[in-house]
Structure 1
Amino acid sequence: MPELPEVEALKDFLTEHLVGREIVRVLPVAISVLKTYDPPLTALEGSEVSAVHRHGKFLDLTAGDLHLVTHLARAGWLHWRDRLPDGAPRPGKGPLALRVALETGEGFDLTEAGTQKRLAVYVVHDPSDVPGIARLGPDPLSDDFDAAALARLLAGERRQLKGALRDQALIAGVGNAYSDEILHAARMSPFKLAASLTDDETRRLYEALRATLTEAVERSRGVAAGRLKTEKKSGLRVHGRTGEPCPVCGDTIREVSFSDSSLQYCPTCQTGGKPLADRRMSRLLK
């Protein structure tokens, strides 16, 4: 799933390639991708793109007085085309969901792999009209987000840190991968209760949060859209690396599996050497 660093890099890439250019066609291929119908997609045609913004994991293209907002969800992606194929794409069972064509012949495709269709596209007058954007918490890379702001957010949170970091209404932009990376950098268990942090632990978590996301953004900066997934994976230290040695201490990275996701962590760095219970495996062994 694209998270804050990748969406920030896509924003920069699209700013360079889209701003000042006219949208001539917006072609929906999978109707399920459209979450709004008024204004229609055709209202974007003939408008010049004036800006590209990011709101958490949402991409926001300003064209005329409208916004084309996209959430790539778990399996969505944006593919830039220096030259779009001739003719309109045919609806079918492939991954193509939406095509945006520019007057230059360039453009981009939105695609979604798999059978669970969660890619979402909105055409709105104001980004806050998108429910997911209206619910977003603060951006962790904003200038006014400091350790005190994080402490206020976590106060009274009787949830585990892993879940709190992934809650978009609490902190915008962090998903499954970077929450693992942040907790590893902070040397904290993903199961630790958010409200139980001391002042020193909160500062450590804040520093890990800012450093992890900032470094990921810098690694992604200037990377072409088609290479961002590979760049993300290459920079991860624990997420997706079950069974590999921890790059800090050398212990074996372990995993906890859930019904639709998993987390990875280092026992030595994060849990005092104790493996966390893998609930899915525990149920299978009963």
Structure 2
Amino acid sequence: MPELPDLEVFSTNLDERLAGKKLSTVQIPYDKKLNVSGDELRAVLSGQKLKSVSRSGKELHFNFEKGDVLALHLMLRGQLHFFEESHVIKSPVIELFFEGGTGLVMSDFQKIATPTLNPSAAEAPDALDKSLNVDFISKAFKGKKAGVKAILLDQNKIRGIGNAYADEILWKAGISPFSIAGKIPEKKLKDLHQAINEVLKDAIAQIRKVHPGSITGEFRDFLKVHTQKHPESPTGAEIIIQKTGARKTYYTEEQELFS
């Protein structure tokens, strides 16, 4: 699943290519996940100029001139594709046709990628929002018996972080992913806040450098611990992989356990 750094790069590249173009029409080959009817979506968006494309948590927001927003969530395997005039892309979920012939398709063979017209305002802060400060983290973790990684992954608590970057952030902060959130001391919460910002911003810069122009995919080749390319962390500790259900957690014994 694309996470915050991937989507931040995608949103910039989509904005550069599509902002200012007028949407001719929308086709919805698979509408089971759409929150309105296809006819309503077309009626609302067709003929509107796209002002910008931005990211909110794990969603891409297509912001139109009248204030309407089309949110696209790629989920696990969704992909985005540009096309000119027509396309032969398999498993399309939604197709945006802009004046001049440029188009964009969101496809997903699993058919769980989700388009939403005018999504509700999110209550949880984005992981890179200024409101996600040490005080917010301290209040969110206070008294919590849940594991720290579970809270980082909970999009109702903090938006944008997924499995890979949760592991990277916790390694950077020196906190075991199996720590109890409410047991982590204030000093380490400061380290966690700093790690969230540093890891995510560095990843955005890395993706822009190595994969410029990308609008789909997951780029993980530069990760330090959530990787199978290296048996050890950059500081020489063995990378341990623990599988729980379908999810794998990558960590080292360098990370302190709070329980």
Tell me the TM-score normalized by structure 2. Answer: 0.89
1:224 aligns with 2:213: yes
1:238 aligns with 2:215: no
**Aligned pair count?**
253
* Partner residue in 2 for 1:282: none
Alpha-carbon distance in structure 1 between the residues aligned to 2:80 and 2:99: 19
Alpha-carbon distance in structure 2 between the residues aligned to 1:193 and 1:164: 10
Partner of 2:20: helix, strand, or coil? coil
RCO higher in 1 or 2 (8 Å CA, sep ≥ 6)? 2
Matches within 5 A, 1:140-159: 140-159=127-146
Alpha-carbon distance in structure 1 between the residues aligned to 2:116 and 2:151: 27
1:212 aligns with 2:199: yes
Alpha-carbon distance in structure 2 between the residues aligned to 1:157 and 1:35: 33
Greater helix proportion? 1
Amino acid at match of 1:22: K
Deviation string for 1:27-84 (max 9, x for gaps)? 1122224232287221211111012222211111122432111111111121223x24
1:119 aligns with 2:113: yes
* Partner residue in 1 for 2:61: 60
* Partner residue in 1 for 2:239: 253
Give RMSD over aligned pairs. 2.2
* Partner residue in 2 for 1:103: 99
Amino acid at match of 2:81: H
Tell me the TM-score normalized by structure 1. Answer: 0.81
Which of 69, 76, 79 is residue 77 of structure 1 equivalent to? 79
Aligned-residue offset at 1:228: 5.1
Q: Is the 8 A contact 2:241 2:248 kept in 1?
A: yes
Aligned-residue offset at 1:226: 4.6
Runs of at least 4 residues of structure 1 off by over 6 A? none
Percent identical among aligned pairs is: 28
* Partner residue in 2 for 1:284: none
1:202 aligns with 2:179: no
Stretches of structure 2 lacking an aligned partner (at least 5 in a row): none
* Partner residue in 2 for 1:51: 52
Alpha-carbon distance in structure 2 between the residues aligned to 1:22 and 1:184: 45
Q: Is the 8 A contact 1:157 1:194 kept in 2?
A: yes
* Partner residue in 2 for 1:28: 28
1:165 aligns with 2:152: yes
* Partner residue in 2 for 1:181: 168
Alpha-carbon distance in structure 2 between the residues aligned to 1:38 and 1:160: 41
Deviation string for 1:221-277 (max 9, x for gaps)? 372125652xx21121122428x322323333221112222111123x2258xxxxx
Alpha-carbon distance in structure 2 between the residues aligned to 1:184 and 1:191: 12
* Partner residue in 2 for 1:3: 3
Change (3 A) 1:147 1:39: farther
Amino acid at match of 1:63: F
Q: Is the 8 A contact 1:59 1:69 kept in 2?
A: yes
